[in-house]
A = this chain, B = another copy of it.
Amino acid sequence: MSSRGQQIGSAAPVCVSCRDCALKPICLPAHLPGEEARALEAAVERGRQVLPGVTLVRAGEPMAALLVVRSGSAKRYSVTLEGTEQVHGFVLPGEAVGLEGFASGRYTCEVSALEPLSYCRVPMRKLEQLLERLPGLRREILRLLGQALDEAQRLRGELAQSDARGRVAHFLADLSERLARRGLSPTEFRLSMSRADIARHLGLTLETVSRALSTFKREGWLRVRARDISVLRPEALAALGGGCA
């Protein structure tokens, strides 16, 4: 019953082609015409794997490649002057890493694996060459960036407007929806990040996150057992979390 020890999207061992990849419907090539998808695929370095805790990219490092997570999950964060972590968000399979790097050619935050993780890599050199001749890919990369921007803004709004329970509810609802889009269960999942990570992401303390979860549990909206979550009343969470138009 528990998904203990399971990693997000760990389906197949290592894919060799985008065509056979479980992420096909949501990954970069999804919206590309077949011809462009093939050209992109030829540029992709596939199947790299890392262990939990390993850092995929570091702040300040030159942006040598565009990374897309294939399985597992990761934490995006930066370290403040005082040495505390600011958690910007969490990366799920099919999502790109380090897009802010386009700003200066260097990454501006760290990304480290929360579970065993595999990813694909498109070297920037090759990407630029491809952008030269693939109009679909151009549009797709712009779409990706626009989406990331929109999401970041939406999240900022959430932080600005919601109280603690609203933020936690929104966090869960958002995670649930993203998992669903990947064909995973939106109601039964395991959090790969700690309460402290969630708290730093939401601008709360870990105690407050824990209390919010306990409240939801008491209300009968969730079942919570350590990091395993069962969503019993998604509508309730959505109602609390989703104040956006």
Contacts and interface: CB of A to CB of B under 8 A. Distances in A.
Interface string A136-160: 0011011101111110110111011
Contacts of A139: 128
A109 interface: yes
Nearest to A202: B160
A99 B219 CA distance: 41
A131 interface: yes
A103 interface: yes
Contacts of A223: none
- Report copies per complex: 2
A100 interface: yes
9 contacts: A81-B242, A81-B245, A102-B143, A104-B146, A145-B145, A145-B146, A159-B159, A160-B200, A160-B202
Contact of A145 (B80, B131, B149, B155): B149
A142 B100 CA distance: 9
Given A103-B143, A146-B104, A88 B157 contact: yes
A212 interface: no
A64 interface: no
A10 interface: no
Nearest to A109: B153
